[in-house]
Amino acid sequence: MKVTFLGTGTSQGVPVIACDCPVCSSLDYRDKRLRSSIHLEIEGKSLVVDTGPDFRQQMIREKIHHLDAVLFTHEHKDHTGGLDDIRSYNFLQKKDMPIYGTKKVLNQIKREFAYIFEEVRYPGVPSVITHEIVNEPFSAEGIQVVPIQVLHYRLPVFGFRFGDFTYITDAKYIDDTELEKIKGTKVLVLNALQQSHHLSHFTLEEAIQLVHLIKPELAYFTHISHRLGTHQEVEKTLPPNIHLAFDGLKISI
């Protein structure tokens, strides 16, 4: 399995518009963060988790010429806003794009991209096949996926486990039943928004504590805001098996 971090930023990305803080002013490429998303190459399949507003830019940057399916963690705009750009894959592959999400997520997508689902559709709009998922293991184009339900404040959000790799973003709380699904994973990705308390995201310290509880071989933090600090500064403070992810980072599992 090969995982590429398409984006590692929070909803506003980094740099934030009109901000001149040290992080937003940094010249380090690792401090330039598009909205959070990953691409997986697994068992010959090409999957993306979330299509944020930067989806087009991310896929061009990584030269991803084929896409088999999209999985959605939840319905917030920074995770769905780029869905329209899957039409390039429709044209190239001459088929509808399978998308996977909860009923609530799919309903939100149907409202936000109503033109995709019109009975009489405008020529050239994206074509999708929707697959409703619940909190049970499922197959996405032949790839086995275990959903992990977390809470983003009061909003249920899915993380996903693919074999020895687990990806969780936009989490503030994970109950014991869901934690059991994660245990034994070799590589864990968690959100770590900032240093100070936040209503709906893990702080850096909370994310580190959760890694110590789950005990993966390696952990990476994502969904990072400009309030966390520069990549170089924060990376120095982390335990040896924990790292900040950055846009374009590729890992093999």
Residue 121 has pLDDT above 90, yes or no: no
Q: Which residue type does 248 have?
A: G
Is the separation of the CB atoms in 165 and 253 below 8 Å? yes
Local confidence band at 126 (pLDDT 50, 70, 90 cut-offs): very high
How many beta carbons lie within 10 A of that of residue 123, not counting itself? Answer: 4
Rounded to the nearest integer, the mean pLDDT of the chain is: 97
Spatial distance between the Cα atoms of 235 and 253, rounded to a whole number of angstroms: 21
pLDDT tens track for 127-141: 999 999 999 999 999
Higher pLDDT, 67 or 122: 67
* pTM listed for this prediction: 0.96
Q: How far apart are the first and last CA of the chain?
A: 5
pLDDT tens track for 33-51: 999 999 999 999 999 999 9
| Positive or negative: CA dihedral 114, 11, 49, 160 | negative
Residue 116 has pLDDT above 90, yes or no: yes
Spatial distance between the Cα atoms of 184 and 178, rounded to a whole number of angstroms: 13
The mean per-residue pLDDT over the stretch 224-252 comes to 98
The mean per-residue pLDDT over the stretch 233-238 comes to 97
Residue 56 has pLDDT above 90, yes or no: yes
Say if strands 165-167 and 218-222 run parallel, antiparallel, or are unpaired. unpaired
Spatial distance between the Cα atoms of 55 and 36, rounded to a whole number of angstroms: 10
Local confidence band at 120 (pLDDT 50, 70, 90 cut-offs): confident
- The count of C-alpha atoms lying within 13 angstroms of the C-alpha of 170, restricted to the half-sphere facing its C-beta, is 26
